[in-house]
């Protein structure tokens, strides 16, 4: 088999890239290790930047997003019982859109299915000759060995994929911060406690009230890394949320059985560069951010955008310039999101072992943020998403 771009991984980065390339008249094959059902059920992010929404609109993948996505013009931050709202629209000029990653994945899969893509349950995907002009990928499908020749390989296979391991160790630099806590998430078919998101810094730890729709809520509480899911029956989570989010949110909260519960550790991670020869990394394959800034999915989209532009430049004008500049261009935006997610994580969580200094700095910063339009603008510009 032959294609122009072999895309490893059918998460948001791979699916968006495939559709963008298709619109530009460039052929690709998406190889996904999991089944379609597995990929479409995986509960993850839920907040889209305007840049992500516009990109999905341009590539014809936003019909349901336009109809069902919920525009959010503001966000609330709470600390020790005091809450203030940042008017995102007023200070940053853009809203965010609540639309689940599951829905986005389903929409893109439905479009790609009309071209018999992605190839699901592609096993033992391996990359070959990536430092030459004739790279290829091998995999197994239904017991058959397949060889896929291509011009480029896009490594969109997330943090646990094979692509990033193909960049030689001596050419790669990695940067990491591990945070001493995780997020316990709960999804339930109940109306949200607030029509906008609430991020709360509470003595018992961080909590977040989010949503997927007007009838589906998504909540998180900060937990220590040794917490076990079995020690968190639904009632305990609801009780904890009611305390940490405060009386007003608690009064508006509807409890219900969890559809999904999980604990995710928080970390920041960047691997540089995002390219080696004909292999280009995009999304979680190259970087991870803690979910506090809601940036992971949006970075997958912006990487896909830059990579598609570079590949289009190559086919249209025979130009290597975009390809050569891809890693630096993507990383410039990635590091700003890494910075923002790290800052927002530091601001909103309780750190074990704090002697009170760190929390007083948090209180001072949140008080400043609540009063200063300049500080709110700096926060909101990053939260709604920096321009591409
Ligand atoms: P994905 O979504 O991980 O997709 C990678 C795809 O590659 C496949 N794959 C392979 N395919 C073929 N061969 C192999 N060897 C392969 N190895 C892996 C995988 O099956 C998968 O389908 O990466 P992508 O496309 O870069 O998208 C990134 C986003 O998914 C991610 O940044 C966000 O979901 C991060 N994230 C969250 N972000 C938020 O903004 N808010 C959240 O609440 C939030 N929750 C989460 C998250 C990430 C999580 N993970 C990765 C553990 C919750 C979780 C549990
Ligand atoms: C979510 O709805 O899953 C969500 C929202 C905002 C975040 C992280 C996760 O910062």
Determine if ligand 2 sits within 6 Å of the CB of residue 296.
no
Question: In the structure encoding, which two tokens stand for residue 252, read together?
Answer: 């508006």
pLDDT tens profile 214-227 = 999 999 999 999 99
Q: Residue 233: pLDDT band by 50, 70, 90 thresholds? A: very high
Q: Residue 63: pLDDT band by 50, 70, 90 thresholds? A: very high
- Burial class, 283, CB count within 10 angstroms (exposed 0-12 / middle 13-18 / buried 19+): buried
pLDDT at 4: 98
Q: For residue 186, what is the DSSP state? A: E
Alpha-carbon gap, residue 36 to 120, rounded angstroms: 6
pLDDT at 92: 98
Residues recorded for the chain: 388
State the number of CA atoms in the 13 A half-sphere of 51 facing the CB.
Answer: 20
pLDDT at 99: 98
pLDDT tens profile 158-187 = 999 999 999 999 999 999 999 999 999 999
Determine if ligand 1 sits within 6 Å of the CB of residue 300.
yes
For Cα atoms 289, 292, 298, give the angle at the middle one, nearest 5 degrees. 55
pLDDT at 254: 98
Residue nearest to atom 7 of ligand 2 (CA): 294
| Nearest Cα to Cα of residue 219 among 252, 261, 248 | 261
Dist. CA 208 → ligand 2 center (Å): 8
Determine if ligand 1 sits within 6 Å of the CB of residue 161.
yes
Determine if ligand 2 sits within 6 Å of the CB of residue 292.
yes
Alpha-carbon gap, residue 329 to 58, rounded angstroms: 21
Dist. CA 317 → ligand 1 center (Å): 33
CATH number of 5-50+99-176+267-345: 3.50.50.60
Select from 16, 45, 141 the residue to mutate for testing ligand 1; criterion: most ligand atoms less than 8 Å from CB.
45
Q: For residue 294, what is the DSSP state? A: -
Q: Residue 330: pLDDT band by 50, 70, 90 thresholds? A: very high
pLDDT tens profile 67-122 = 999 999 999 999 998 999 999 999 999 999 999 999 999 999 999 999 999 999 99
Alpha-carbon gap, residue 151 to 45, rounded angstroms: 32
pLDDT tens profile 346-387 = 999 999 999 999 999 999 999 999 999 999 999 999 999 999
In this prediction, what percent of the chain has a pLDDT beyond 90?
Answer: 100
Q: Residue 265: pLDDT band by 50, 70, 90 thresholds? A: very high
| Nearest Cα to Cα of residue 321 among 330, 310, 332, 337 | 310
Spans of all domains in the chain: 5-50+99-176+267-345
User: Which residues have C-beta within 8 Å of that of residue 133, sequence separation ≥ 6?
Assistant: 151, 278
Quick check: 88 and 72 in contact, CB under 8 A?
A: yes
Q: Output 83-87 pairs: Cβ under 8 A, ≥24 positions apart.
A: 83/198, 83/200, 83/246, 83/248, 84/369, 84/370, 85/196, 86/369, 86/376, 86/379, 86/380, 86/383, 87/376
- Mean pLDDT for the chain overall: 98
Taking the CA of residue 292 as reference, the ligand 2 atom at the shortest distance is: 10
User: Which residues have C-beta within 8 Å of that of residue 113, sequence separation ≥ 6?
Assistant: none
Determine if ligand 1 sits within 6 Å of the CB of residue 297.
yes
pLDDT tens profile 315-329 = 999 999 999 999 999
Residue nearest to atom 26 of ligand 1 (CA): 283
pLDDT tens profile 18-35 = 999 999 999 999 999 999
Alpha-carbon gap, residue 217 to 228, rounded angstroms: 22
pLDDT at 75: 98
């Amino acid at each position: 088999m032959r294609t122009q771009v072999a895309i490893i991984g059918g998460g948001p980065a791979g699916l968006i890239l495939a559709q963008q390339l298709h619109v530009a008249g460039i052929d690709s094959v998406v190889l996904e290790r999991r089944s379609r059902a597995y990929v479409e059920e995986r509960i993850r992010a839920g907040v889209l930047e305007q840049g992500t929404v516009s990109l999905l609109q341009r590539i014809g993948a936003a019909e349901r997003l336009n109809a069902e996505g919920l525009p959010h013009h503001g966000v609330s931050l709470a600390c020790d019982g005091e809450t203030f709202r940042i008017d995102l629209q007023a200070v940053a000029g853009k809203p965010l859109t609540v639309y689940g990653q599951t829905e986005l994945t389903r929409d893109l899969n439905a479009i790609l299915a009309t071209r018999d893509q992605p190839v699901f349950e592609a096993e033992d995907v391996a990359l070959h000759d990536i430092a030459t002009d004739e790279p290829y990928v091998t995999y197994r499908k239904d017991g058959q060995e397949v060889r896929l020749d291509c011009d480029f390989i896009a490594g969109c296979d997330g943090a646990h994929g094979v692509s990033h391991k193909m960049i030689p160790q001596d050419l790669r630099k990695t940067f990491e911060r591990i945070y001493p806590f995780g997020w316990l998430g709960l999804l339930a078919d109940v109306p949200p406690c607030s029509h906008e998101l609430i991020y709360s810094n509470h003595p018992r730890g961080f909590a977040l009230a989010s949503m997927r729709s007007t009838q589906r809520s998504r909540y998180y509480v900060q937990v220590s890394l040794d917490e076990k899911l079995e020690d968190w029956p639904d009632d305990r989570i609801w009780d904890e949320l009611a305390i940490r989010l405060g009386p007003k949110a608690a009064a508006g909260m509807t409890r219900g059985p969890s559809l999904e519960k999980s604990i995710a550790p928080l970390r920041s991670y960047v691997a540089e560069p995002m390219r080696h020869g004909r292999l280009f990394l995009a999304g979680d394959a190259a970087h991870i951010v803690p979910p506090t800034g809601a940036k992971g999915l949006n970075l997958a989209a912006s990487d896909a955008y830059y990579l598609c532009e570079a590949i289009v430049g190559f086919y249209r004008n025979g130009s290597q310039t975009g390809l050569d500049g891809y890693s630096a261009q993507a990383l410039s935006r990635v590091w700003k999101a890494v910075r923002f997610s790290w800052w927002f994580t530091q601001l909103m969580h309780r750190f074990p072992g704090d002697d009170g200094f760190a929390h007083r700095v948090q209180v001072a910063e949140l008080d400043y943020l609540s009063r200063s339009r300049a500080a709110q603008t700096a926060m909101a510009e990053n939260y709604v998403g920096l321009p591409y």
